[in-house]
Amino acid sequence: MSFRPLPLTPELHEYLLAHSTPPDDVVAELITETRAALPRNATMQIGFEQAAFLRMLTTALGVRRAVEVGTFTGLSSLSIARGLADGGRLTCFDISTEYTDVARRYWKRAGVDDRIELRIGPAAENLRSLPDEPHLDLVFIDADKESYSTYWNELVPRTKSGGLLLVDNTLWSGRVVAPQSESDRAVADFNALAVADTRVELVILPISDGLTMARKL
């Protein structure tokens, strides 16, 4: 192939952010609080451009039923919840009350807390409590990488035909090309599983750390 991909330098990333609609006060404060209160874990938060993308996509698709695996302090859930159609619902799965207590505060502040249900505990088990039939319009997976394939296998059958599954960190800082660690291999194995899955068509978008966007056929 002769196509040369664009290297996203720090300067170009800054430019990209400066030429995207800026975050509103709620999002800006959530990002600031997460960085200040959880400096060692703040890199787990999705990028602002991903947050904007999630909200726009949710709105454009008219999403009514959504699931998120991996909520942390709430930026992705806030973005999805704000984009939901009237009467829409988001069910979030996370293992930590410490992180998600922050999320709850921001959901309330943005006036979307009544659209979100949070289930605390290991997501691999808790996802099984969802209805078995295809009922989801949108899925966002962003939790422990070792369980990505499990989450995928629980959620693909529950996604409606035409619905989207988004999976974060699927380029894993580029380490998927030559996996070394257990988490490298988990993400690379997940990517191999997903691309071979004939129930979906998919593209990996080079946004932030890589975002797989899969459409259920």
Ligand X SMILES: C[S@@+](CC[C@H](N)C(=O)[O-])C[C@H]1O[C@@H](n2cnc3c(N)ncnc32)[C@H](O)[C@@H]1O
CB of 1 to ligand X, least distance (A): 32
Q: How far apart are CA 149 and CA 162, in angstroms?
A: 21
Applying CB under 6 A, among 62, 111, 122, 162 the residue interacting with ligand X is 122
CB of 35 to ligand X, least distance (A): 11
Q: List all residues 6 or more positions away from 166 whose beta carbon is below 8 Å from its beta carbon.
A: 54, 57, 138, 139, 140, 141, 211, 212, 213, 214
Nearest in space to 166 (alpha carbons), one of 189, 200, 116: 200
Q: How far apart are CA 143 and CA 202, in angstroms?
A: 20
- Contacting range for ligand X; rule: CB under 6 A; set: 139-147, 175-183, 185-193, 202-210: 139-147
In contact, 49 and 74? CB cutoff 8 Å: no
CB of 95 to ligand X, least distance (A): 4
Q: Of 59 and 126, which has the nearer Cβ to ligand X?
A: 126
Restricted to residues 66-105, the positions that interact with ligand X (CB under 6 A) are: 70-73, 75-76, 93-96, 99
Q: How far apart are the first and last CA of the chain?
A: 28
Residues binding ligand X: number (CB under 6 A): 20
- Is residue 144 part of the contact set for ligand X (CB under 6 A)? yes
CB of 161 to ligand X, least distance (A): 26
DSSP line for 80-121 = HHHHPPTT-EEEEEES-HHHHHHHHHHHHHTT-GGGEEEEES
CB of 71 to ligand X, least distance (A): 6
State how beta strands 136-141 and 116-120 pair: unpaired
Each residue 153-192 as x (binds ligand X by CB under 6 A) or -, in order, gives ----------------------------------------
Restricted to residues 2-31, the positions that interact with ligand X (CB under 6 A) are: none
Q: Coil, helix or strand for 195? A: helix
Residues found near ligand X in the complex (CB under 6 A): 44-46, 70-73, 75-76, 93-96, 99, 122-123, 142-144, 147
